Amino acid sequence: MKTVISNNGGPAEVVINSRGAAGGAEAMWRREDDLVCPDDHFDGRIGIHDHITDAIADPDPVRLAPDLICLRFEVMKVRSALGAVRQLLDTGTIRPGDTLVDSSSGIYALALALACHRYGLRCHIVGSATVEETLGTQLEILGATLERMPPSDDLRLDQSRRVERIRRLLAERPHYHWMRQYHDPIHYDGYHQLAGGLDRALPPGPVTLIGGVGTGASTGAFAEGLRGAGREVRLIGIQPFGSVTFGAEQTEDPDMIIAGIGSSIEFANVRHELYQQIHWIAFEYARAGAVALLRDSGIFAGLSSGAAYLVSRWERGRAPGRTVVFMAPDTGHRYVTAAFAAHREVPPLDDLVPRDACCPSELTTPWSVADWCGVAADWATADIGAA
């Protein structure tokens, strides 16, 4: 259904959009010639969505340089949560009115709550004591329940406690469905849908894709989708120090507040073989990247986005002829006090360089990089060969 209205620039076409979560993820992608056009032309088309999740689930690609694109999300995991929930409903695994439960202290909690709001489901989140007030309030108003675990200075203990609490909940309420964002590959599906649209929007040629690893679903699914479309893709993952996912658990960053892109427990959804290189970045350098991203482009994004921007600038000079795409998974609002308030203190990005590492014992803050062999066991035993 289409409605034609008038605006100051003449007729404007308003499209009443009834996109479903599974089938419409690619519908709003702009053509490549629109994407590369540097002007601010508005073609008069405005999409009207049936639910807020349709408006925020898909990224806005922003060109920062001829060979550099920021894949900016408002809440990146919304598309993943929608795709997972829709598939569970379609297969009869869950029904409207059921309760979905998972562990999260960040954007997945909001994404799942929004998906449940859309599809008439209940949502229960087991989070850490550090869930910030804005997120907690949003969850409450959306009808989700947030169960905060006791505070802990040990990230491994915090995550393990949350998972154990979910196991107890399931024993008490077996009708709850555990989404298992860390382990269930169903969370790849929504991102696979987006990858096809990204492939059509990008200029021809090889791509370097950069993003925080986290559960592995976003970077992994986009890389798989682009490769499936025939692209040559170099996938670079970003981790915080202290994360076990790529063997940095022995190197701590005392200021680390970007735990969401790493983990203190193993995630089955991380497909190590998909990555060609890993960067470990400390808080101070991620903050510098986030401040520079806002200053250079006007994009206000979080710390993992800042880390990705830092790596993207470094990578561009080493890979001519490639389009570099980096992911910005959320906005910077929850980092204003902890990161952006000290923006005058951050170093220039051009002064920052990583240290090469060949084995876990060579990882050093604030920034290390390693070519990834694709097999976690080989990296973990590299210290033995270097001894």
Give the domain CATH number at 85: 3.40.50.1100
| Backbone conformation region of residue 8, classed left if phi is above 0, alpha if psi is from -120 to 50, else beta | alpha
Q: Which of 178, 206, 237 delimits the end of a domain?
A: 178
| Parent domain of 294 | 186-382
Kindly state whether residues 366 and 232 are assigned to the same domain.
yes
pLDDT number for residue 97:
97
- Whether 200 maps to a domain, the answer reads yes
Kindly state whether residues 228 and 131 are assigned to the same domain.
no
- Whether 66 maps to a domain, the answer reads no
Kindly state whether residues 173 and 190 are assigned to the same domain.
no
For residue 366, whether the previous peptide bond is cis, meaning omega lies within 30 degrees of 0, is yes
Kindly state whether residues 156 and 256 are assigned to the same domain.
no
**Token couple for 112:** 């799942």
Predicted TM-score (pTM) of this structure: 0.86
Distance separating alpha carbons of residues 167 and 69, to the nearest angstrom? 41
Kindly state whether residues 138 and 253 are assigned to the same domain.
no
Kindly state whether residues 196 and 110 are assigned to the same domain.
no
Kindly state whether residues 195 and 334 are assigned to the same domain.
yes
Distance separating alpha carbons of residues 181 and 88, to the nearest angstrom? 13
- Whether 17 maps to a domain, the answer reads no
Kindly state whether residues 240 and 360 are assigned to the same domain.
yes
Written as tens digits, the pLDDT of the chain (387 aa) is 333 333 344 433 333 333 333 344 443 444 444 444 445 566 788 889 999 999 999 999 999 999 999 999 999 999 999 999 999 999 999 999 999 999 998 899 999 999 999 999 999 999 987 788 899 999 999 999 999 988 776 666 677 888 899 999 999 999 999 999 999 999 999 999 999 999 999 999 999 999 999 999 999 999 999 999 999 999 999 999 989 899 898 898 877 766 678 887 788 899 999 999 999 999 999 999 999 999 999 999 999 999 999 999 999 988 889 999 999 999 999 899 989 999 999 999 999 999 999 999 999 999 999 999 755 556 655 664 444
Give the H or E element holding residue 15: strand 10-16
Q: Which of 142, 162, 178 delimits the end of a domain?
A: 178
Kindly state whether residues 140 and 251 are assigned to the same domain.
no
46-50 LR contacts (CB < 8 Å, sep 24+): 46/12, 46/13, 46/14, 46/15, 47/14, 47/15, 47/17, 48/14, 48/15, 48/16, 48/17, 49/17, 49/19, 50/17, 50/18, 50/19
Q: What are phi and psi of 378, to 5 degrees?
A: -65, -40
Kindly state whether residues 227 and 376 are assigned to the same domain.
yes
- Whether 272 maps to a domain, the answer reads yes
- Whether 33 maps to a domain, the answer reads no
For 116, counting Cβ atoms within 10 Å of its Cβ (0-12 exposed, 13-18 middle, 19+ buried), the class is: buried
Q: Which of 154, 178, 202 delimits the end of a domain?
A: 178
pLDDT number for residue 45:
83
Kindly state whether residues 90 and 238 are assigned to the same domain.
no
Give the H or E element holding residue 278: strand 277-281
Kindly state whether residues 169 and 220 are assigned to the same domain.
no
pLDDT number for residue 132:
86
- Whether 44 maps to a domain, the answer reads no
Domain count, the chain: 2
Kindly tell me the number of DSSP H helices and DSSP E strands found in the chain: 12, 15
